[in-house]
Each structure stands twice: as C-alpha cells, then as structure tokens.
A and B are shown apart, each in its own frame.
Chain A
Amino acid sequence: MKLAPQSVPYRALQRGLGFAVLAFFILNASDAGGTGLTVAVAAGIVLVALAYEAAYYQRFEYVLTEDTFDISSGVISRREREIPYRRIQNVDVSRNVVQRALGIAAVDLETAGGSATEGSIRYVTVAEATRLQRELQRRKSGANGSPGELDEHGEPVAPTEEDLFAITPGELALVGALSFDGRLIGLLAFLGSGSVPVLSGFIPTASAAILTATAIVAVGLLFLASWVLGAAIAFSNYYGFRLSRAGDELRYERGLFRRYSGSIPTEKVQTLTIADNPAKRALGYASLSIETAGYAPGQGGDQGSQAAVPIARTDRVYDLAREVEPFGEPSFHRPPRRIRWRYVFRYTMVVAALTGILFAVDWWTAGAIPWYGPLLLLLAVPPAAHLKWKHRGYWLGEDHLLTRNGFWSRQVKVVPYYRIQNVIDTRTIFQRRWYVATVVADTAGTGSLMGSNAAAVDFDIDEAVTLRRELNDRLQDALIDRRARRTAFEWFEGDPMEIYGASADAGTDSAADAGTGSVVDVDADDVVIDDAEADPAVGAALDADDMAGTDRFAGIDGVEDVVDAEGVDDTTDVADAEEGDDGMDAADAEEGDDADDLDIPPDGVIRPDFSVSDRDYSQPAERVDTGDYAVDRHPSDADVPFRPDDESSSGGADGDDDDTEHDEASADDDATPGDDRSGR
C-alpha cells in the first residue's frame, strides 16, 4: 500500500525548508546576488525536495502479508524490511497540528531489537493509520498463537474497548502545576555565559543593593517562566489522556496540539513503575508508567513514557496497575533495622564533607563564612536515615516481585517473575561491613537503562541469597507454567481430526513400527521448532555458523539418530508449514468442538500426516519466521534434544510417560481455551 499523497508536499516542505532557509542566509550574508537569485535558489531547493519526495512516495510501499509486515522504501538505496507481527512491541501513531490539518499521521512500529524505530511510516491518512494499528494488533495476536477474535462467519471483530483511565480536568491541572521545565534555565544559562563580558561592563556603575535585587527578581521571573512553560508543555502533552484496554492490548491517546495514540500489548509489558513524592503522597496521588522491551514508549522524545499515567489518585493508580499486572495487595518487607545506622553514618559523612569544604574555602579566602553552618544538618540525619530505611522494601507476590525505594521520589517497581532476565546480587565493600547485599532483578525494559531496575537494597546477606534463589526458582516455575500452556496449545496446531484420520489411512502398521520413541521425538521437536520461532533467545542462539555446532552436539548425544531421524525432520516441516498457512484456521478450529470429541488412537498418539500437503518435504521449509535474527534456514536439520530426559529416553518406557503427560496437558488446557489468552 502507498503513503497518503498529501505526505509529498508536507515531507518536501519539512525537508526543504531547512535547506532553503540556510541557503537564504548564506546567500544574504555573502552578498553573492540580489534577492532574485536567493528566491530562485530557495525555490530550486523546494522543487528538488518535491521531486525527491515524489520519488520517495512512488517507491515507498508497505504490505501486510500473512505473517510479516513488509516495508520497501528508499529512492537511491533500496531497503526491503520484513517485520514479523509477533515481534512488534508497540504501534504508535502521532499527528501534530499541521499533520492534523492535512489529515495525515505518522505510524511507528517498535520491536525489541535496536535503538531506532524499526518501522516508520511517514505519512498515511488518519483512517489508514487507525486501520493499520487495528490490523497489526489483530494479526499480532493471531501470530502469537491465539487467533484474533473472529465472529461466527470467521470475520475479524474489533475487540471491545474498555476504558481504564481518563484524565480528569483536576488531574490535568495538577500535572501542569507540578511540572517544571528546566530547559529554559539551561538555555538562558548557555546564552548568558556568552554575554557575561558584555554585562560586566555595566556592573561597576550600579550599586550592590540594586544588583542583588535585580538578580533576585530575574531569577524569580526565570523560575516562574520555567514553571509556566513546564505547565504548558505538560498540559498540551497530557490533554485528553485516555488509557483503554482492547483485547490483549492497552491503547492510549493524548495530546492537545500533537495527538499521540498507540498500543502496547499486555503480553509485552516488562515492568510497571508507580512513582510518587512526599507532596503527592500527602495529597494521595501517584503516577504510573508502563515499560515494554521496545522502549519505554516515547523515550526517544522528551515527554517521557507515552503510556504513563501522569498523575491520579493512588488507589486509581493501583487499580490500573493491577488491571495490567494483577499483583494483589503488597505488604513490603523492610531491610533490617540496623541498616539505619549505615545511613546515619553515610549522611554524617556527607555533612562532614560539606563542612570541610566550607572550612577550606573559609580558610583560603580568609573570609568570614559561617563554615560550621552545615553542622545543623546533623539534626536531620537521624530522621533522614529512618525515612530512607522506611521506604525501602520488597515483596514477593504470586507472580510478581515488587520493590520499593526512595523517599523523595519513591518508586514501586512491579516485575513479573516471568520477565526477569537475570538476577544480580551485589555487595559493595561498605555493604559487606554491615553484612547486607543488594539484589537486582533485571528485565528487558529500556527504562532500566538509567539504572532504575527493580532492586531490593540492603537486605541481610542470608535473606538476599534466599531472595536470589527464590527469584530464579519462581522464574523457572513461571516458565514451566507458560511452557505447559504453550506446549498443549501447539500440540493441536492443525486440524486434529484431519491429522489423525489421514494418519490412520496412511497405515497404522508403520506407525506402530515407528515405536513410541519416535513419537516422543516428534512431539519434542514440534515444540522446539515452534518455540524457536516464537523466541528471540533461541533464535539468536541459533546463528548460522553455530548451527553446525548444534548438529555436532546433537550428533554426540545421538538421541535423535537412534530413532527415526527423517521422521522427525518431516514432522517439523509439517508443523512449520501448518503454522504458516493455516495457523489461524487451525487454532480457530481448535476452539470448536473438534478437539473435544477427538478420540485418541490405541497407542495414544496423534500423528501428523504428510499426505495431506503437497509440499515437497525433501526440501527445507521456504521461510522461517525468525524476526530479525539470523537463524538456521533449515530448522529441520536441528536435531536438538529438547528435554533433559531426552538423553536417557531413547527407550520406550520414558517416552510413553512423556507422551501421556502431554496428552493430559493438552486435554486440560483445551477444556479452558480462554485461559491462554485472557491470562496475561
């Protein structure tokens, strides 16, 4: 599909204007010619820009294919990019005032890889932007294994949108009142630094009193201006903020002049942060931000997280957070009380250092500075230490780790165990003196690049070690939980009746001959491949030259080789092909009655059948959806043992057990098909 035609003049102006102005200035400055020449050059630049943008428009094309979103673009150097739907983390649409007048919108697609926006479409019509957003969402959930919601005719229905949060005028006013934009001060300081010599010329003539008064007034005005500016920016940013849930994604909308709207799949949420400060706490307000792996939305810009609730009543914030990640009622566990002495010590050192510096200055300048002034701060040390201790803590919920830190800007972080990337336990030399440690649960959220990971700080070493183990265990449990659901789900990929029926036709004898061992492998491999596709980790691990290594290892293990290796290969292909071609239908069918009255053959095994497809299985699968990662093109060659017990289970007995488990798991899960989707 093409961009909106209106985007051509807009882009040309956007691009050409800067050059034109630059050329104007250069020509004016150099007095190279009259106004006529200047105008001609500017017009020429605009024309060139128009031509370029027309060509850009001509060459830019995007297509929604079966399972990828393809963008081909570029005038001089061409680029074809395919973004698998399931890799898309966020879809954002933004429109500024001019774009709104022209009826166009910018669409940005974010994936977890890379820092830049992976798919940026500038610009399409507003209707098309909305359609893209919805369509991508629908296909994304389809690609993730759960079929997009379909009505009885198999047509996609838009999931009902349920409002979670809408900013009230009072809250908006509060956001404005609490916003302060420091950039103006920075700018003035920057400009001012250049003008100091100029100003100093006037200074001696004025009296000290007037100077001081002027300075105070100027600084006051500056702060007032910064505050008004901050309020205005916050007001225009968060005007009409609305957060809603549609199916398994969150949608937000905000902005007065520049409208932003976007979607975040709840599946991709990495961390929730609930932040407040003493003032907000006293008034009963807090703010919430949602981090995904693509980026914390809007991080590229200066407005902070786009899906952040800037301010709301604390209970509303918690309700909303629970809506996204149901973490229950936290009761935080504080560090040991003795740790307050550590903070007392630390703050005393700071006060001592301050006093020392002032004393040195005093001594050096021989002035009469009251260098002992900071010693008054010592009075504040004990309460500060107590407060610091009081606001630290962590809590292990059913599925989430919650940590809390900070008094002045307190942050409660909610990390689902399933999202933990690694657990880091650090003890500085000072912490060791107090026999405490810090445990950090690292996630893939980009917000944590600023070092604000979920951390349980200053806990007793024994407790920290337990916590570290606990987090790892809970992550493993969460993974197993996920895997059980997923495995069961993938098992019924394709139409079960068709598979069984055809398999029975094809010959039960051969099936019996193949034996249980091969069945287990079929099952296992099925899972490996499906997951590899869904999974950047394995995907990335499987880079092409490493693949050889895998083969080698598999060869040494020799598990698959013992059993019928070819059978395994073929099966993976089938799973693959099915996923590509009729994954949606199959998954849809699975929801129906078919699965319920599926009778299991005597040997308890449902076999895929190769005869129903006209694919040539001697060839590798044509294309494997692996995202941006370089992954083996021939996944059917990957004879990788899947479970730890595979190494020992080439015999029949183990295999049998495994298989039964799988069937049970599948059956269980199938009884409640909704779980898989609505769960998270």
Chain B
Amino acid sequence: MTTQRLHPRVRIVWVVRAIVFAGLFTLPFVAGFYLGYLPEWAPTVAGGVLLVIGVVHALLRYRRWSYEIREDELYLDRGVITQVRTTVPLVRIQHVDSRRGPIERAVGLASCVVYTAGSRGADVRIPGLTPDGANDLRGELKRLAIRADGEDAV
C-alpha cells in the first residue's frame, strides 16, 4: 500500500476542535474582564491569538499526517512541533477499533484506533477516514495482524 493521506475534511474536525479549545481558554480572560482585572481588549486578543495558532496547527497537522500499511508494519508519520514516526509491527496489534466522535459524525468521518501492548505507543489513532474507510482499514489491519501470526504478543 502506498502512503495514504487523511481525508481533507478532517481539517474541519480539527479546526472546529481548535475553535472550541480557543473558546475554552479564552473564558478565563473573559471572566477577568468582567471582574475588572483585565482591559477590554484582552479577551479578544487572547482569543484571536489562540484561534490563529489552533487553526494554523490544524492545517499544518493535516499536511504532515500520513500513514502506510507496509508488508509487516503500520507506519505513521505525524506531528507538527514534534514530528513522530511510529512503526507498529502488525504482529503486535492487540485489537483495532473504529470510532466516531460527535464532530467526526457531523462531517461524516471516522477514525481507527490500533492498540498494542506497548506502554508508550499503546494506542495509535488514525483520524480522518471515511466510515467505510475506517471499517475497511480495521478489517484490513485485523486480517494482516492475524496473517502476521503473532505468537506471544507480549
């Protein structure tokens, strides 16, 4: 399988999430303003900065994300500030979930979570898949995991 990109609509999910977070983190500033500790422009500026950072991060994140199912491993390349490249040997896959969060459902996307027994990369989430794609990916990974014939996965 060649390198796969995420579905472009995942940007909507991430941007919405960034907006929500920016909103949440602006709340203290708003409260500060109402209680008279902060000048009027503080919440606006804080919110604006957070929003811009969040949105830019979301867009860059989409550009960086890619995954690939190789012969005997799953390879993920992601991360904006810290770039992370994970290789998960198919033998080590414990189980695979496909899930859909509320924002994902709204834009018609799903994600796939791969679990291993590892302590650090114990679960790897591949976002931005179409629901069918997520199911297919789950099925594919499971099939490959079985074929890869893990013995002691621990």
Q: List 19 A-B contacts (CB under 8 A).
A: A420-B89, A421-B121, A422-B92, A423-B86, A425-B84, A426-B83, A428-B83, A442-B120, A443-B118, A448-B120, A453-B119, A534-B151, A537-B117, A538-B150, A540-B115, A540-B153, A549-B138, A550-B142, A643-B147
Please judge, given known A-B contacts A427-B82, A550-B146, whether A112 and B117 are in contact too, CB under 8 Å: yes
A553 CB within 8 Å of chain B: yes
Q: Does A314 contact B (CB under 8 A)?
A: no
Whether B151 contacts A426 by the Cβ 8 Å rule is no
Residue B18 interfacial (CB < 8 Å): no
Known: A420-B89, A483-B151. 4 other contacts (CB 8 A): A422-B118, A425-B87, A540-B115, A546-B142
CA distance A532 to B149 in the complex (A): 8
Q: Are A445 and B119 in contact (CB under 8 A)?
A: yes
> B151 near A535 (CB under 8 angstroms)?
yes
A-B CB proximity, top 4 nearest: A537-B153, A421-B118, A537-B150, A442-B118
Summarize B's interface: helix, strand, loop or mixed: mixed
Complex Cα distance A426/B82, Å?
7
Instruction: Report how far A552 CA is from B96 CA in the complex, Å.
Output: 17
Known: A429-B81, A642-B147. A446 touches B91 (CB 8 A): no
How many angstroms between the C-alpha atoms of A424 and B85 in the bound complex?
Answer: 6
Given B85, B87, B95, B120, which contacts A451 in the complex, CB threshold below 8 Å?
Answer: B120
Question: Which of B73, B93, B119 lies in contact with A442, CB distance below 8 A?
Answer: B119
Which positions 225-279 of chain A face chain B at CB distance < 8 Å? 267-268, 270
A444 within 8 A of B: yes
Contact call B143/A449, Cβ cutoff below 8 A: no
Contact pattern, B 121-154, Cβ under 8 Å of A = 1, otherwise 0? 1001000000000000011001101110111111
| A553 CA to B121 CA, complexed, in Å | 28
Find out whether the CB atom of A422 lies under 8 angstroms from the CB atom of B89. Answer: yes
Q: Which of A422, A543, A546, A638 contacts B121 (CB 8 A)?
A: A422
**Interface contact A483-B154, CB-CB below 8 Å:** no
- Chain B: residues with Cβ within 8 Å of the partner, total of 39
B88 CB-CB contact with A under 8 Å: yes
Indicate whether A392 reaches chain B with its CB closer than 8 angstroms: no
Interface string of B57-98 (1 = CB under 8 A from A): 000000000000000110000010111111111011111100
Asked if B116 lies at the interface with its beta carbon under 8 angstroms from chain A, I say yes
- Which one, A53-61, A76-84, A303-311, A472-480, is touching chain B? A472-480
Contacts of A642 in B (CB 8 A): 147, 149
Closest to B141 in A: A541
Task: Please determine whether B87 and A429 come into contact, CB atoms closer than 8 angstroms.
Answer: no
Instruction: Check B82 against A429 for contact (C-beta < 8 Å).
Output: yes
Q: Which residues of A line the B interface, CB within 8 A?
A: 112, 267-268, 270, 293, 420-429, 432, 440, 442-446, 448-449, 451, 453, 468, 472, 475-476, 479, 482-483, 486, 527-528, 531-532, 534-538, 540-543, 546, 549-550, 552-553, 638, 640-644
Question: Which residue, of B124, B151, B154, has the highest number of chain A Cβ atoms within 10 A?
Answer: B154
Q: Which of A420, A421, A640 touches B146 (beta carbons < 8 Å)? A: A640
A531 with B154: CB separation less than 8 A: no
State whether A422 touches B146 (Cβ < 8 A): no
On whether the beta carbons of A421 and B92 are closer than 8 Å, the reply is: yes
C-beta contact mask, B34-57 vs A, less than 8 Å → 1, else 0? Answer: 000000000000000000000000
Chain A residues, CB < 8 A from B121: 421-422, 424, 442
Give the residue name and chain of the B residue nearest to A475 (CB): B89
- B contact residues around A428 at 8 Å (CB): 81-83
Which has the most chain A C-beta neighbours within 10 Å: B83, B87, B139, B146? Answer: B146
CA distance A475 to B117 in the complex (A): 15
Closest to B150 in A: A537
Interface centre among B91, B142, B151 (most CB of A within 10 A): B151
Question: From A271, which residue of chain B is reached at the shortest CB distance?
Answer: B119
**A residues near B86, Cβ cutoff 8 Å:** 422-425
B91 to chain A, nearest CB (A): 6
Task: Give the CA-CA distance A671 to B115 in the complex, in Å.
Answer: 39
Q: Is the CB of B143 within 8 A of A550?
A: yes
How far is A280 from B95 in the complex, measured between Cα atoms in Å? 44
Which residues of chain A come closer than 8 Å to B94, judged between CB atoms? 536-537, 540-541
Residues of chain A contacted by B142 (CB below 8 angstroms):
541, 546, 549-550
Closest to B74 in A: A422
